[in-house]
Structure 1
Amino acid sequence: MRVTALVVLVAALTGCSLWSGGSAKPVPADLGANVAVLGVRQAWTARVGSVSGLPLEVHAAGNVVTVASAEGVVAAIDARTGGDIWRTALGEPLSAAVGSDGKSAAVVSRSNALIVVESGRERWRENLASQVFTPPLVAGGRVFVLAADRSVSAYDAATGRRLWAQQRPGEPLVLRQAGVLLAVGDTLVVGLSGRLVGLNPDNGSVRWEAPIASARGTNDVERLVELVGRTSKVDDSVCARSFQTVVGCVNTARGTVAWTQPASGAEGIHGDADALFGVESNGTVVAWRRNDGSRLWGSDRLKHRKLTAPLLLGRSVVIGDDAGLIHLLSRTDGAPLNRVATDGSGIAAAPVVAADTLVVVTRNGGIYGFRPD
C-alpha cells in the first residue's frame, strides 16, 4: 500500500513507546503517603465539557485562561475567580484547540474550518485544505496555522483574509498531537518534521532552519520525526522535544542548534534560564542544564503514570497524570512537595498558571484552580 501524507496519523502514546511491541501494561509506581511540604489549596472549579480525544492546549494570557471542549464549546475563564468571561458553543467537534491573545480565540474543527471567536461571538471562519492538530497562534493581529500536511499559513485576525501560505515537504506520517508554533521577537518559529524553522511573519519566507532531529530507519514508522509542544522560550533560546528521540535547544538569533540530548518522551518540555524539565514515556521525570544539556537529575517516583508535559512554577515542577492527580516536585532534585486530586478522569493537558493560580483541565472537562496556602 502506498502511504502518503495524512493517510496515516500516528497518535502519541504517553505511557509507552510506539516500538514497545504490546507487552503487558506496567504497574504505576507506588506514590506512598502524601507529605505536603508545600501548601496548596483548591480555589475554584469550573467546567467546559469533555476534552477526551482533543489535543488540547490551555492558553493563559494575563488573568484569562481560554479552554475548549472536544464538541466545540470555547470559554474564557477569569483565573482569579473561575467565572466565565465569555462562553460560546460552536456546534461542531474540534481537532485543535485553543490559541488566543487574550482577546480573540482560534480553534480548528474536524471539518477543517479555522474559527475565530471574539468576546463569545464567532467573528469569522475559513476552510482549510488539511487537518490541524496544533492550536493556532494568535499574535500581532494575525492568526497562524500549522497544518498536519506541514503547511503554515497566516490570516488577518480581523477579516479572515489569508495573507500567505508556506508548504514544506516531510515524512509521510504525522502525529495526532500539538506541534510547535510560537512567536519569538519578530520571528514566527515553527516545528516542521525534526526542524525548528524561523519564518518572516509578514510573508512566510524562511529566515533560518535548525535541525534538532532527523529521520532514521527503514520504514515510515521508524522514520517518524516530529517536534511536539510545549516548548521553553527564554530570550533567544527555544528548547523543544522531538518525539521519542531527543531534547534540544536552538539559538533563534543565529538560527543554530545549541545542543541536543537523547530522550525518549512524547510530551513537551518546560523550564527557565537555568534548567529544563521533561517526562519520558515511561514516566521518568528528567531535568537538564539549559546551557549545555547535561543531565541534572532523574526521578522514577511517577514511573508508568502517563504524565503530562511539565510546568515550572517557582520551586515546583508541576505535572498531571492519568489518574487526575497533580504532582508538585522539587525543581532541585524531583522530591515530592505535594499532590492534589481532581475528578479522577486524567489530566488532559499540561498545567498553566494565570493570576497566581495553577489551572488544570481534566478529560471530563473539569477546570480546577489551585493556589498556595
Structure 2
Amino acid sequence: MRSVTATAAKATSFARSQSAGKLALKLAAAAAIVTLSGCSWFSSKKDPNPPAPLVEFAQKLRVQTAWSVSVGKAGNFTFTPAYAAGSVFAAANDGTVMRINAQNGQTVWRIRTDTPLTAGVGTDGSTVVVVGEKGKIQAFDASGKPTWNAQAPSEVLSSPAVGEGLVVIRSIDNRVTAYDADNGSQRWMVQRNVPSLTLRNAPGIVVGSQTAFVALPGGRLSALALNNGGPRWEVPVGDPRGTTELERISDVSGVPALGSRDICAVAYQGRIGCFDLLNGNVRWIKEFSSDVGVTLDDSYVYAADFGGVVTEFARDTGAAVWRNDKLKNRMLSSPISAGRAVAVGDYQGYIHFLSREDGSFVARLSSDGSPIQAPPVSAGQSVVFQTKSGTVVSVVTE
C-alpha cells in the first residue's frame, strides 16, 4: 500500500490498480475516509484469473469505423457518450466537452470548462450537462454556450439524466437531486441510506414516463416521480448476502435499460431482471453478477457478467438464448445490439461482435488500445464507444 489519507465525516474508499484488474471498492463510514492507492485486496505473483486470449475466427460480418474523434482522457473517472438531436456528445476529465455530428464525425463545437470533470455527459439535445470536481454542475445550451451552474451535495460519478424539463443527478452520498433544466434551480432532493461497502462505480439514471429510474447501491432500483421526487415504487435487484461486508456488496450497475413497458437492470453479486414500468412488478429475474449494466432491444436483453461471460436473454421470459464464455476476465463493457450482431468492448480497446443468433464471433475491431469501460450508445444506424484514453468511435455494421 503506497498511500493512506484520512478525512472526517466522509466514507472509506478502496481503489484497485486497473492494470492488475482488481475491483475498486468504497467503504462508507460515518467518521472517516481512507483512500488506499495502488493496493489490491489480494496479492499474488501470478494472476489467478488471466484474461482470455483473443479467439481466432473467420470474419462473417462486415464492420467498419464510420468516424473517430479524440475528446481527451477519462483519468480515474468514467465518461459516457450521449446521443441526442442527431449528435454525439462527449466529455473528458480535463474539462473538454464536445458536440459531434453523428453522421460524419465533424465537430460541431468544442469547449473547455473551468474545472476538471468527473461525470458526463447528460443531454436531451437542448440542455447539455456535465459535473466537475467537488460536485460543480455546469450546463450549456445546444450551441455550447454556458447557461447555468449549480452545486451538488458531494462528488458525482454518474452521468446526469436530462429530460422532461429536469436534470437529475445522484451524488456519492446517495442523494438524488433534480434541477430545473432552464435555470438550474433545485426542484427536489431525496436522501438515501449509504451501505457500509459499495462499488466505486457510476450507477446510472434514466428519465421517462414522468419518472426518474435510479440505480442505487445496496441493490435497489428506485422509481421517483419527476414532479416532486416522491417514490412510485422500489424493487430489490440484488439483496446483500454473505457473512462479510465484501460478500454483501450488491449494487445495481450501469444505467437501467428503459423500454416502452418495462425497465431492466442488473446488480453486482445480485440478479438481473426486467420490471413493469408502472408498478415495478417483476416480469422475470435471475441470479447474475455484473458491474457494467445491461442493454436491450425489441426482443432481447444483453449483459456481461463480472467474469466476462456475455449472455443474451429473451426479453419477455428471461430465458438464456445463448452464452459466450470466450471473453473471460477481459473486463468488458456492457454489450449492445448492433444490427445483426451484439457489440462489446474490452480492456485492450477491442470491440467484439457476436452473432445475435448464437453468440459466436462474427467480427472484431480495434480502437486505440485503451480500456472501453463506458457503456456504448446507439446513435441512429451506428454504435458509439468511448475509450479510457478519450477516443470516441462510431461503428457501423452491414
Same fold (TM over 0.5): yes
Name the counterpart of 2:209: 185
Shift of 1:316: 0.9
Residue 7, structure 1, aligned to residue 11, structure 2: yes
The change in CA–CA distance for 1:6 and 1:222 in structure 2 (over 3 A counts) is farther
Describe the SS at the equivalent of 2:134.
coil
Q: Which residue of 1 aligns with 2:241?
A: 216
The CA RMSD over aligned residues, in Å, is 2.4
Residues 276-313 of structure 1: CA deviation (Å, up to 9, x unaligned): 11112221111222223232221112122111111112
Q: Hey, what's the Cα distance between the residues in 1 that align with 2:54 and 2:284?
A: 34
Q: How does 1:231-310 map to 2 (within 5 A)?
A: 231-310=256-335
> Does the CA contact (< 8 Å) of 1:3 and 1:172 recur in 2?
no
Relative to structure 1, is the Cα distance of residues 203 and 36 closer, same or farther in structure 2, using a 3 angstrom cutoff?
A: same
Give the structure-1-normalised TM-score. 0.92
- Report deviation, 1:234: 1.8
- Contact between 2:347 and 2:371, CA under 8 Å: does it hold in 1? yes
Q: Is the 8 A contact 2:256 2:265 kept in 1?
A: yes
What amino acid is the match of 2:12? Answer: V
Larger mean CA deviation between 288-297 and 5-14 belongs to 5-14
Q: In 1, distance between residues paired with 2:285 and 2:22?
A: 22
Matched with 2:59 is 36
How many Å apart are 1:143 and its aligned residue? 0.7
Find 2:190's aligned residue among 150, 156, 166: 166
Range moving further from structure 2, 23-32 or 140-149: 23-32
Residue 91, structure 1, aligned to residue 114, structure 2: yes
Amino acid at match of 2:87: V
Listed one character per residue, the Cα deviations across residues 18-71 of structure 1 (whole Å, up to 9, x for unaligned) are: 898455323332324352211112222211011132222211124211110011
- Deviation, 1:16, is 5.7
Offset at 1:163? 0.8
Residue 60 of structure 2 aligns to a residue in which SS?
Answer: coil
- Residue 231 of structure 1 and its aligned partner are, at CA, apart by 2.7
The structure 2 residue matched to 1:142, chosen from 125, 150, 166, is 166
Q: For 1:219 and 1:161, locate their aligned partners in 2 and report how far apart those are by CA, in whole Å.
A: 42
Q: How far apart are residue 322 of structure 1 and its match?
A: 0.9
Matched, 1:229 2:233: no
Indicate how the Cα distance of structure 1 residues 272 and 4 shifts in structure 2: closer, same or farther if over 3 A, else same.
farther
Note if contact 1:186-1:201 (Cα within 8 Å) is conserved in structure 2.
Answer: yes
List runs of 5+ in structure 1 lacking aligned partners.
none
Structure 2 unmatched runs, 5+: 1-5, 26-40
Could you report, residue by residue, the CA deviation over 1:133-169 in whole angstroms, capped at 9, with x for unpaired residues? 1111111121111111221111111111111111122
TM-score with structure 2 setting the length: 0.87
- 1:129: Cα distance to partner? 1.6
* CA-CA distance at 1:88 after TM superposition: 0.9
Is 1:61 matched up with 2:84? yes
Aligned equivalent of 1:50: 73
CA contact (8 A) 2:162 2:207 kept: no
Identity %: 33
Structure 2 vs 1, CA of residues 253 and 11 (structure 1 numbering), >3 Å: closer, same or farther? farther
Render the CA deviation track for 1:109-138: whole Å, top value 9, x for unaligned: 122111112222221111222121111111
